[in-house]
Amino acid sequence: MTSENSGHQLPPLVKKNTWNLPFLGHAPQLKMRPMDLLMEGQRQFGELFSVNLAGQMTAVFSGPKANEAFFRAPDDQFSAKEAYQMMVPVFGKGVVYDTAPEIMSEQVGFLFPALKEQRLRTYVHWFNEEMDRYFATWGQEGTADIYTTTNELTMFIAGRCLLGKHFRNNLSTEFAALYHDLQLGINILAFFAPHLPIPAFKKRDRARIKVEEIISGIVRDRRQRGIVEEDFVQTLMEAKYSDGRSLTDNEITGLLLAGLFGGQHTSAVLSAWGLIEAARHPHVMAPVMAEQQAVLGERREVTMDDLRLMPQLERLVMETERTHPPLIILMRKVLRDFTYKNFLVPKGWMAMVSPGLSHMLPDVFKNPELFDPTRFAPGREEHKQANYTMITFGGGKHRCIGMAFGFLQVRAVVNYVLRNFDLTLQDPGVKPDFSGNVVGPQQPCMVRYRRKKAVQLISVPGTGPSGSDAADHSRTVATGAL
């Protein structure tokens, strides 16, 4: 089909599909079997094709060059704001997707100080504290749902790093329930009509009000008592717009929720899949464990420098990211006609890229169905053949600013669990769960764990995080082999 005024063709519609229903089009298959639909479109037409999502025509870009075109399109042509209006009730009015692009960029930039090198070093220390605290509840051996485990653990870590120690110790259980209600308000219906008066959306809105009350209380208490902490709340309390205005409690709440939704899901999913893949591929786990022993010896707590000295661990996590991206589709609203090669994507369409599709293209990644961390090793480095081969965290100016934090957290969690426990999957054939917006493993996803040889801990003064409270911390060091 050719556009009337341009002479360009419209992206060809995926065909030969029994799911292409008169009114819903490809929407049911995108919901139930998304990768089958996207792989079929790529097989039929290559790097650009279209699907009909309940009447909303959507152009799907795939492969490095098409991905680059998608991510480099300006905001007034491909709009993330218009595509993600379903997040406005969660983040709040006047925050991120409810602002002009330049204000959104300024707001996101407020988080940069919380992601600097020294802060990341402090966070790794907190990661260790939270993991010690969490896994102390596990016995010498038993069973656990590994995805539930990583979800709970990353929520505790997020609470500590985003909202502070007092919150983590006193309010995290209540907050977790509210966060769950916010999550349930993000679904396929919210994409089309986020303000319908249905029970899930009413609970979402009540939860948003309560979350702001909690965060406002934290801010008020700190200001009254002169408390200063190294966390995201403090960073946003100190931030100012270019005109000198401070952030409101609503804006602080919205940006914290944006950071939480952008990072906690990703870390939980990648940590779970990383442990699953390590457990079902002994040949992958062996070099990771050998590297771990070489770097850490008998030390127990891991620093950021230690994690940087573990390329085998990094490749395991990168291959997990390639094969199990938490978000398999990323969307934009087309505000102006967009041309790519001899195709035209008209104003009013949606544009989509799919990490789940692009990470599985055989002309980029050799034998893409094979879980093979060595594809990232020196001499291969398949992801460096071109730009925009790995797009889990987006790309261009909208690339996730929390990527370093999330990737660091995943490496810390995977390293900790593998160092302290032997894991056996009860079902080695665990598959992805495409029922939600974030693609984790299907549950139950049970592992049998056995704690490795117990360690005797000694206190080593002065080895905690740098800063005003460094002297109050100590690092535990293993005197027995793990």
Query: Domain extents for the chain?
Result: 27-478
Q: Is 137 exposed, middle or buried (0-12, 13-18, 19+ CB in 10 A)?
A: exposed
Angle between helices 172-184 and 146-158 (to 10 degrees): 110
Which uninterrupted H or E stretch holds 271? helix 249-280
Round to whole Å and give the CA distance between 232 and 470: 19
| Tally of CB atoms within 10 A around 305 | 10
| Residue pair 90/261 in contact by the 8 Å Cβ criterion | yes
Reported in sequence order, the residue ranges of 18-118 that DSSP labels E, i.e. its strands, are 48-53, 56-61, 78-79
* 3-state SS class at 464: coil
Q: Report CA-CA distances (Å) from 47 to 25, 133, 348, 410.
A: 21, 47, 21, 31
- pLDDT for 19 equals 55
What single-letter amino acid sits at 289? M
Using only the alpha carbons of the chain, give its radius of gyration: 23
Q: Report CA-CA distances (Å) from 102 to 96, 111, 245.
A: 10, 15, 16
Give which of 316, 309, 318 is closest to 291, Cα–Cα. 309
| Residue pair 91/259 in contact by the 8 Å Cβ criterion | no
| Residue pair 417/127 in contact by the 8 Å Cβ criterion | no
Round to whole Å and give the CA distance between 118 and 29: 45
CA 220, chain centre distance (Å): 30
- pLDDT for 101 equals 85
Sign of the Cα pseudo-torsion (371, 35, 390, 408, in order): negative
CA angle 295, 298, 299 (to 5 degrees): 75
> Which residue is associated with the tokens 């302290």?
420
- pLDDT for 455 equals 44
Q: Which CATH superfamily is domain 27-478 in?
A: Cytochrome P450 (1.10.630.10)
Q: Is 240 exposed, middle or buried (0-12, 13-18, 19+ CB in 10 A)?
A: exposed
| Residue pair 49/12 in contact by the 8 Å Cβ criterion | yes
Say which residues have a Cβ less than 8 Å from residue 366's Cβ, sequence separation at least 6.
Answer: 375, 382
Q: What are phi and psi of 369, to 5 degrees?
A: -75, -15
Mean pLDDT in each 10-residue stretch from start to end of the chain (482 residues)? 64 74 79 91 95 92 96 93 90 91 89 88 93 94 96 89 81 81 81 86 94 91 88 92 94 90 86 96 94 92 94 97 94 96 96 96 96 96 94 82 87 96 94 87 95 54 33 30 28
